[in-house]
Structure formats: structure tokens, C-alpha cells
Amino acid sequence: EAGVAQSPRYKIIEKRQSVAFWCNPISGHATLYWYQQILGQGPKLLIQFQNNGVVDDSQLPKDRFSAERLKGVDSTLKIQPAKLEDSAVYLCASSLDPRGGTDTQYFGPGTRLTVL
């Protein structure tokens, strides 16, 4: 079975520029997650989609970050404008059914963002 796909794998931008990341989850997985992993820390959930709808975006900095999941499949995460503190690895994950909190999440390879 194909895993979670992400692109690009690496991105270097200057502060105040915009950037977008793309994620394609495992086929049939209704739930998609975006995590931010800053160096030396564990991943932190930014946003969770259930099909097309947003389940949790409580930790998404909405003044600069946005995300969408068109047709309940692919998703894009955008940062506009980027700040130095946005330098991190952005992980996408997917799972079958999030209800109950026991579902295994499958992670993609991540996008490493460096903001100069």
C-alpha cells in the first residue's frame, strides 16, 4: 500500500515570503493531520480534517497559516507571510477513523522548511 506523500521535501525561503506544502494521504483514509515539528521538540498538531471538514485547528496560527482539503483527499498547508520561527519540519499524517482516539496515524516524510 502506498504511504502518505508530501512535497516538496525541502524548502528555503526568506522571511515574509509565502510557501505552500502539499499532502496526499493513504487512499481511503478519511482523516488528515498537519503537524509542525520544531527542532528538539515533538510534533505539534496544527490542524485535523475529517473528510472536508475541520475537526481541530486550535493550534493553527490563523493570522498566517491556512489549510484546505479539497474533495476530502489532498491537502495544502500555506504560510503567508513566513517568520523565522516557522522554520520546522511539517508532517502530514492520515488515519482511517479518529473516533475514540485509538486509530493509528501514518506519517509522511515531512517537508523541512528553513526561513532565512
- Which positions lie near other proteins, rule CB under 8 A? 3-4, 31, 33, 35, 40-45, 48, 50, 55-56, 91, 93, 95, 98-110
Q: Rank residues 82 and 108 by Cβ distance to other proteins and give the closer one.
A: 108
What is the rounded distance in angstroms from the CA atom of residue 95 to the CA atom of residue 110?
A: 16
What is the rounded distance in angstroms from the CA atom of residue 15 to the CA atom of residue 12?
A: 10
Assigned C-alpha cell, 26? 493513504
Query: In whole angstroms, how close is the CB of 70 to other proteins at the nearest point?
Result: 21
Query: In whole angstroms, how close is the CB of 33 to other proteins at the nearest point?
Result: 8
Q: Rank residues 28 and 100 by Cβ distance to other proteins and give the closer one.
A: 100
Give me the long-range contacts of 98-104 (CB less than 8 A, separation at least 24).
Answer: 98/31, 98/48, 98/50, 98/55, 103/31
Q: Rank residues 6 and 82 by Cβ distance to other proteins and give the closer one.
A: 6
